Amino acid sequence: IYRSERIDMQVQKGILITIIILASVIVYSNTLFSDFVWDDTALIANNPYIKSWKFLPKFFIQDIWNIGPQTMSSGYYRPLLAASFMLDYFIWHTRPFGYHLTNLIFHSLVGILIFLLVESLFKDKFISFSSALLFSVHPIHTEAVSFISGRVDVISLALFLVSLILVFKYISHKKIIFYLCSLFSFLISLLIKEMAVTLPLIII
């Protein structure tokens, strides 16, 4: 009976997560057919540095705005954001559809992670589902999802949440692997966007 209940709970969780993914896709699917806009032109469409792997080390020693056709000092050290553009370029070249698809995938992932995080905190599927669903469809995320360069927020948050979830797992299970994976995820998030530096304060 206990095993049957666990299976039913997993099925219910799977259904709720599927709804969250579908809601994210339905609300933001129109972004898939958008073009490059604003910073996308300089950072992606007209950026020769994302078109060859030989430039990858440059991403780790330069301001992100110094690895494009125009140079300026922004103070933004985001090497893995530039690397994500490079990876998309080698799959999609300059077809914006693929870049928008990456943003939508990460936005859906964030919705799932919020569901898992809130569930671990409150042990209540209604609270976790409604929180994740509201986040997934809220129009405040329009810029982060529809603006390709706005993925800096989406990807960084995804890794931020993974790190936070793994911290809770480490606290619960006392397994060092959770701590190490959390630390790794935090460092990757930090290389996407500087705001990840707030994670230790949130944990405290």
- 136-156 core/surface letters (b: 16 or more CB in 10 A; e: else): beeeebeebbbbbbbbbbbbb
Please check whether residue 66 is in contact with residue 72, taking contact to mean a CB–CB distance below 8 angstroms. Answer: yes
Query: Model confidence at 13, in pLDDT bands (50, 70, 90)?
Result: confident
Per-residue pLDDT at 103 exceeds 80 = yes
Whole-Å CA distances, 74 to 31, 66, 87, 197: 27, 9, 23, 18
Give the end-to-end CA distance of the chain in Å, rounded to a whole number: 39
Please check whether residue 118 is in contact with residue 127, taking contact to mean a CB–CB distance below 8 angstroms. Answer: yes
The per-residue pLDDT of the chain, averaged, comes to 89
* Residues 105-148: tens digit of each pLDDT: 999 999 999 999 999 889 888 999 999 999 999 999 988 999 99
pTM of the model: 0.89
Q: Rounded to whole angstroms, how far apart are CA atoms 17 and 112? A: 6
Query: Model confidence at 22, in pLDDT bands (50, 70, 90)?
Result: very high
What is the DSSP code string of 147-178? Answer: SGGGHHHHHHHHHHHHHHHHHHHHHHH--HHH
Mean pLDDT of 73-101: 89
